[in-house]
Structure 1
Amino acid sequence: MFKKEPHIKALSNLKNSERKKLLQTFQKQTNNEEYSFRTSTIKQTNFNGQKSVGTVYTDENNTPILFKEKHKEQLFPTVYSCWEYPALLPIVLTHGFVIEEHLFNGANLMISGSIPPFDPRCKIGTLCGIASKQAPETVLAIGIVELDLPSFDKVIGETGVAVKIIHYFNDGLSKVFKMKLEPPFVLSTQSKDNNISSKQIESSEQIKAVEKEQEDVKEASVDVEEIAEVLDHFTVSDVDYFITRALYYTLTQDKGLELPISASNFISNHIMRNLPPIDHNEVNVKKTSWKKSAKFLKHFEKEGFLKLKGKGDDLTIVGKNTDKDELKNFVPYKLGCSKSATESRESTTSKEKTSGMMYSLTLYKPFNLAKDLLKEVNLASHTYYTSQDIRSAVSQYISVKNLADTKDKGKVIMDDLLFDMVNKKKKVLNASRIIARGEILHPLLTNNFTEFYQIFKSDDTLLFKAPMKGSLPHIKIITEMKIGRKVITRVSNFEVFQVDPESLAADLRKICSGSTTISESQTFKCAEVQVQGPHGQSIIDHLNKLGIPSKWIDFENKLKKKKRK
């Protein structure tokens, strides 16, 4: 319902009688008389979405708690309401990567992606919450049950939509209200007397399913590096998770991987080197649920990731399948301190990183002809690469195809694929097939790759969960004179760096000793803070303190200098 941000009107407070009626209606619909609003003030506003219109109800902090469609009585709780009341709805469990990579992209939950046994209340037409098996009490999506789920003991081989998704964490509804609340993940196996029965958690079938699909676990709550830095001791499932992620990294990002390769070499020189910054004494194959390298590799061969040859423990990896969904959607993470072939890729970020400041990484995703080139050098075509990665891939392609000019090694004789990639946007007939090596990368990136950016905080944590499309935006500061000869300074395009407009306005009132107003920028279609007086440098200094470097800030002073007599 909220794949895109809906248009909303100004919030207005509900009358006390309307508030009570709303609460009674929702209690009756959910058969939960214990539910109550956390705040005495409830607000409402109308929304106009891409395919629906209706009403949203919020608490006094403007956190959306309920919504409904126009001309319909059914009230839908938001994920934020479910976080406050975990027992509000029956919960359907699924895998973390299904939520992160499918539901968060607007897909419905298929029966094959759910995890039985199911709550007996999950009948057709029932409202339910969707949660990860790693955090079974934290609802990340809301939907309507489409199948009689309790009748399914197994889901393998079954087809159909299990739950039609209505709303999910960080969708258009969350964005339009500028929500910054994070899911309260509790990684616990303790069962409680709520919507998830003890049988659902403790059944042997559930335990077998969890053990069988450990490799699919992708934690949605925190980054790999954060888990590694916070936890001192890891459970078996934690170790399985890290080793699995290292395998994904190896198959998609490790340029030093050459097949065929022995199992011992693959584990020691690739899997272990591609772990996040954690103690290798705590995380290694021996401490996984597989215990042995052979079992680990055979498991992923069975799942379709690898192709092996050999018997017993004497195995050789002879092939890999980069078309798996887990690898197509894999996002690289920060590696540990051990030396590896990928250190050169990370050095690009360390050069621009300044103490206490954010820093960025430019990434590229291939399309059309670029995918063909990457396949020629056995690289995944559905992941992100740095310019250095692509430069290496092009060099490898030139070497494999023997395209280097024998007379001048600094030049390349382009084949049809390279020629079309470099000259894609040119309409020059009979263009030369010979090009200098240094002139290949720029047109190749421009014509065949989509640019993304990722911002890192000063402590190396990600600002966004996934790279953002486009080039790195800049904050715009303009000092100008309005009608009436009043000097003002306007600041815009700062929300992308997670700077709150109200907080910024409050800070500037103190720093600049002047009144501030918040409006909408006509240039960027985002919030704009205006302060009285020429305070460009003061605002830049304040943004620097928030971790935003000056090179990401564009300052323009439109005040005309007085001419000297």
Structure 2
Amino acid sequence: MFKKPFLLKPAAPLRSSDRRKLADQIIDDYQLERPASDAATPEQKAEATARHTVLRNSLLPENLLSARFTTTHGPELKKAAGTVYIGSHKGEDARILWFQMEGGMYPSVYTLWGHPDLVPLLHTHEPVIKKLQGGADLMTPGLANGPPFPPQARKGVVVAIASTDRPSVPVAMGVCAIDVSELQRVQGAKGHAVENMHWVGDELWSWSTNDRPGKPPPEDIEGWARLLAGDGLAEATVDLDLDDGDEEGGVPLGEESSASAVHIEAKRRKDETSRDAPEQADAPEMTQKEIDTAFRNAFTYGVCHHKQTQPNAPNYGLVYPLSQSYVMSNLVQPFLPAFTPEQTQQLQIKKTSWKNIKKFIKSMDKEKTLKSKEKDGHETVITEIDFEAESFRTFKPYRLPKKETTTGTALGRGDKAVETIDTGDDSVGQKLQVLSYYKPTAKLQPLFTTPSTKSQLFTPPEVRELITAYIEREQLVSATNKRLVKLNPTLGNAVFDGTGALDREVLAKGSVPRDALIDRVLHAMSPAYAIQRHGSGDASAVKPKSGAPPKVHVTLETRSGSKTVTRVSGLEAYHVNARLLADELRKVCAGSTSVEALAGAAKKNEREVMEIMVQGPQREAVVKALERRGVSVRWVEVVDKTKKGKGR
């Protein structure tokens, strides 16, 4: 829908009555709350009214703007028109939160991230996600973690789509083309499951009032994770063959012969799994005690796996606190002895005596195996693991089903699970955070001069707080509209100099919306950044540097005719040792690597900037290795010179 730029008319504020009416329409359409009963007391009705107001403001904030748009969609490029609704919550950039067309209201991914359970959540494999981000619809064989699927996922219903790699983070939104909830199987099925309308990376996601890039998806969303854990869906992220999703999901297959080849390959894999698994064709139903034991052993195996594969990393590569979804998807699920589909159906957390991962963690806490605490009153996280506990010291690995490795070779995970790469790299498992700061220019200095502001570097929330304090101190709030700020000579000279059309309009009116003023101030300030490495000391000890945060550069290019190499540089700022990373990539990619100083990259009296060169197109392997070292994909810039344009 929004793969290509769309035409947007000037945005205008929405009247409060229209905003409330629109919010009530969304609440009714998406069935977000139940009406108060007639028998409710006045106090209960007052509480319900207060909750309703909070829900309205969270869906459509008070600073909401609306604008008409036109675009094209579909293979025939049909014209489409509608309305977008732009707004921001406290401390965030203004983004498109909803769009309306043909009588329907559709949430953007920014709204989905802040409102868990707004719509049913479907899952697919990561290779299919990449096809969705190219504009393809989600095909029925591309569906994962089911059946069963959410009962609300019926034809015409809006759904969110997440990757099985990050099951709690929706990255696309669409409308069901069929009754997904009625599907009994997906392998071998044909046809469209979800009509893709909007995704992370499209023009709707990229749009902002200040030309800033789109906000990258979070690593984990606690609200969605809680819902998945509570519904028993998080544990359904099993070790499925990604080949099936890559071949059959995302886009329709072109020829029948291709489909036949996929089915032959799937049958071959199934036969191999049957040969490798114990003779359990007629295995009896597992008792609850056996299922409980399997989950305990799986968690123990997961912790021991980290101890043996990352012996030199802090906490063996585990970064506290460990969320419920992380524990399930990384420390339990990969180590369950599920050799057959029947065993997979039995080995689910909802069939244990704990019923959910939260109670499972608490039971381990009572046994003194680990320490946990409540977070935000909803989720239980692990704050510490006793690696010397008896269960870990006496544990003996058992055989597990096969799983595809990064090199494409099937390795048994039991006794061979500990034979993964051990580089002795202390950056593996580190937790990094990029902190953004802003420094006032000479013109803006009068707005930040108070007895309490000794620093000259401020975070975005601090800038907002200081500007708000200045507005209140100077009594600049409009008497008729509290969202408007009256201009005084200082604001007129420091922020709006009259050079642009917007400046002249604001100066003529003598007032400006508060959010527009704060955005303008931030845009006029000088940026700075600091990269904090958790566990390396106090955050205040990290000295900020001017400019925008650096990127790790990954470049694919062709050399010596048709040979492709992958170059990686810019690792030093993120505390990654280039030589140790090169050693890992050499083993993972099964190819030669080299490390040399990047000529001209380092200034005088600075340490050398090293560059890794890996044989072959190894983009995905490099990104995964960086993520293991805490380097998020949003801090990585990939340029593919073997094709036209950029890769990421």
Same fold (TM over 0.5): no
